[in-house]
Amino acid sequence: MKSKLGPQRIMFPLPTALVVAGNMERSNIITIAWINMLTGLPPTLGVSIGSKGYSAELIKKNKDFSVNLASVEIMREADFCGITSGEEVDKFSATGLTKIPSDKIHSPIIQECPVNIECKLVETRMTGRTHQLVGEILQTHVDEDKIRDTKRPDSIDILSINPLIYYSRAREYWALGRKVGDAYKIGYELKQRND
C-alpha cells in the first residue's frame, strides 16, 4: 500500500556541495544540495539558491563560482556553512577551511574538498522565488591520491572520496555504502532477452 503525502520536496540521495563565490581576499561558502548537471556539451551544472540571500547577489556580481564536493570528514564545516550567513561571518576563518586559487575563475576552491569544479556563470533562471545559477564548467580538480589514473576521469575512487550524502527531507547526512552493480551492463541481459 502507498501513502499519499501531497506535494512534497522529496529527492534523495543528494550531494553536499560547498559553493564558493568571491576572490582570494574575500569570499563566501554556501552549502547546497539542490545541484546537478544540466548538459554534458559543454559540461554545465545548475545550482538552486534562494534569490534573497547574500550569496546569490555575490555570484551574480562576480560572474563565477566554484563547486566543491564535501566529504564526510568535513561534515561539521559543511553544515556550519549551511546554517550561517556570509554577511555575518567569514566562513573560511570560522571553519578553518583553506582557500586556494582557481585556475580559470576568480572564486577560489576549497583545499579540503576532494573534488573542485570551476564554473563561469552563463545564465540565471527563476523558478518561483528560487534562482537557478547555470554554470559552465571550465576546470575540474581531484585530489591526486583519490584517482587511480589521472588520464582517466572515470577512475576516481568514490570510496576514498567518501562523499557526504544529504537526505534533505529528514535533514540527515549519510555515507556511501557498497557498490551494487555496473550501469549499462547489469540491464543488458534483459535487453538481449527483448532484442
In the block, residue with C-alpha cell 576514498: 160
Q: Considering only residues 53, 57, 72, 106, which one is a binding residue for its own copies as defined by CB under 8 A?
A: 72
154-183 residues in contact with its own copies (CB under 8 A) are 154-156, 158, 161, 163-183
According to DSSP, residue 98 is labeled: P
Give the dihedral sign, CA 39/121/104/160. negative
Residue 28 near residue 86, CB atoms below 8 Å: yes
52-71 residues in contact with its own copies (CB under 8 A) are 69
Q: Considering only residues 53, 84, 106, 124, which one is a binding residue for its own copies as defined by CB under 8 A?
A: 84
Half-sphere exposure of 77 (CA within 13 A, CB side): 25
96-155 residues in contact with its own copies (CB under 8 A) are 103, 115-117, 123, 125, 127-130, 132, 134, 136-145, 147, 150, 153-155
Nearer to its own copies, 26 or 50 (CB): 50
Q: Which stretch binds its own copies (CB under 8 A): 21-29, 52-60, 185-193?
A: 185-193
At its nearest, how many Å lie between its own copies and the CB of residue 67?
Answer: 8
Q: Considering only residues 23, 53, 54, 94, which one is a binding residue for its own copies as defined by CB under 8 A?
A: 94
User: What SS3 class is residue 195?
Assistant: coil
* Contact map string, positions 22 to 51, toward its own copies, x by CB under 8 A: ------------xxxxxxxxxxxxx-x---
- How buried is residue 63: exposed, middle or buried, by Cβ count under 10 Å (0-12/13-18/19+)? middle
Residue 70 near residue 20, CB atoms below 8 Å: no
Number of residues that bind its own copies (CB under 8 A): 105
At its nearest, how many Å lie between its own copies and the CB of residue 26?
Answer: 17
Residue 175 near residue 22, CB atoms below 8 Å: no
| H/E run at residue 92 | helix 91-95
Q: Considering only residues 58, 70, 81, 133, which one is a binding residue for its own copies as defined by CB under 8 A?
A: 81
Q: Which stretch binds its own copies (CB under 8 A): 2-10, 19-27, 57-65?
A: 2-10
Give the whole-angstrom CA distance, residue 108 versus residue 94. 17
